[in-house]
A and B are shown apart, each in its own frame.
Chain A
Amino acid sequence: MNRVIMIAALGLAATAAVPAMAADVVDERLAAYQAEGAGPFDAKKGKAMWTQQFTHAKADKPRSCATCHTDDPRAQGKHAKTGKAIKPLAPSANPERLTEVREIEKWFMRNCKWTVGRKCTAQEKGNLLSYLRDL
Chain B
Amino acid sequence: MSTVRIWDLPTRLFHWLFAAACVTAWVSGDEPRYTDLHLFAGYLALGLVLFRLVWGVMGGRYARFSQFVRGPAVVLSHLRHLFERERPHEPGHNPAGAVAIVLMLGLVFALGVTGLVVLGGEEGFGPLAGFFTVAQGVTLHGWHEWLGWALLIVVLLHLVGVALESVLQRRNLPRSMVSGTAPANKDEAEPHNAAATAVVLLLVVSGFAVSWFYPYLQEDKEDPYHPFVAGDLKRNPVWQEACSECHMAYHPSLLPDRSWQRMLDEQADHFGEDLFLLPETVAALRRFAAESAAGQVERELSWRTLHSLSAGQTPLRITDTPYWKSVHREIDAGTWKRPAVNGEFNCAACHQDAEQGGFMNGAMRIPE
Contacts and interface: CB of A to CB of B under 8 A. Distances in A.
A108 to B, nearest CB: 9
Contact of A84 (B246, B273, B274): B246
B243 to A, nearest CB: 11
Contacts of A110: 273-276
Contact of B246 (A58, A79, A106, A109): A79
Nearest to B346: A83
Identify whether the interface residues of B are mostly helix, strand, loop, or mixed: loop
Interface in A30-53: none
A58 B343 contact: no
A113 B274 contact: yes
A95 to B, nearest CB: 19
Interface in B223-250: 244, 246-248
Contacts of A81: 246, 271-272
Contacts of B319: none
Contacts of B275: 110
Given A79-B246, A82-B247, A84-B247, A58 B272 contact: yes
A55 to B, nearest CB: 15
Nearest to B244: A84
Nearest to B273: A114
B276 A109 contact: yes
A106 B244 CA distance: 15
Identify whether the interface residues of A are mostly helix, strand, loop, or mixed: loop
Interface in A52-68: 58
B342 interface: yes
A107 B192 CA distance: 81
Contacts of B274: 109-110, 113-114
B345 interface: yes
Nearest to B271: A81
B316 to A, nearest CB: 15
Interface string A78-95: 010111100000000000
B271 to A, nearest CB: 8
A77 to B, nearest CB: 12
A83 B344 CA distance: 11
Size category, B interface: 10 to 19
B246 A82 contact: yes
Contacts of B247: 79, 82, 84
Contacts of A109: 274, 276
Given A79-B246, A84-B246, A106 B272 contact: no
A114 B271 CA distance: 11
Nearest to A105: B276
A58 B272 CA distance: 8
B349 to A, nearest CB: 9
A79 B244 CA distance: 12
A82 B244 CA distance: 11
Contacts of A84: 244, 246-248
Nearest to B345: A82
B346 to A, nearest CB: 6
Nearest to A86: B246
A110 B268 CA distance: 10
B342 A83 contact: yes
A102 to B, nearest CB: 9
A126 to B, nearest CB: 20
A84 B248 CA distance: 8
A94 B321 CA distance: 39
Contacts of A58: 272
Interface in B186-222: none
Interface string B256-292: 0000000000000001111110000000000000000
Nearest to B339: A83
Interface in B302-357: 342-343, 345-346
A32 to B, nearest CB: 18
A89 B246 CA distance: 15
Contacts of B342: 83
Given A82-B246, A83-B346, A113-B274, 16 more contacts: A58-B272, A82-B247, A82-B248, A82-B345, A82-B346, A83-B342, A84-B244, A84-B246, A84-B247, A84-B248, A109-B274, A110-B273, A110-B276, A113-B276, A114-B272, A114-B274
Interface of B: 244, 246-248, 271-276, 342-343, 345-346
12 contacts: A58-B272, A79-B246, A82-B246, A82-B248, A83-B342, A83-B343, A84-B244, A84-B246, A109-B274, A110-B276, A113-B273, A114-B274
Interface of A: 58, 79, 81-84, 106, 109-110, 113-114
The 8 tightest CB contacts between A and B, nearest first, are A82-B247, A83-B342, A109-B276, A113-B274, A110-B276, A114-B273, A84-B247, A79-B246
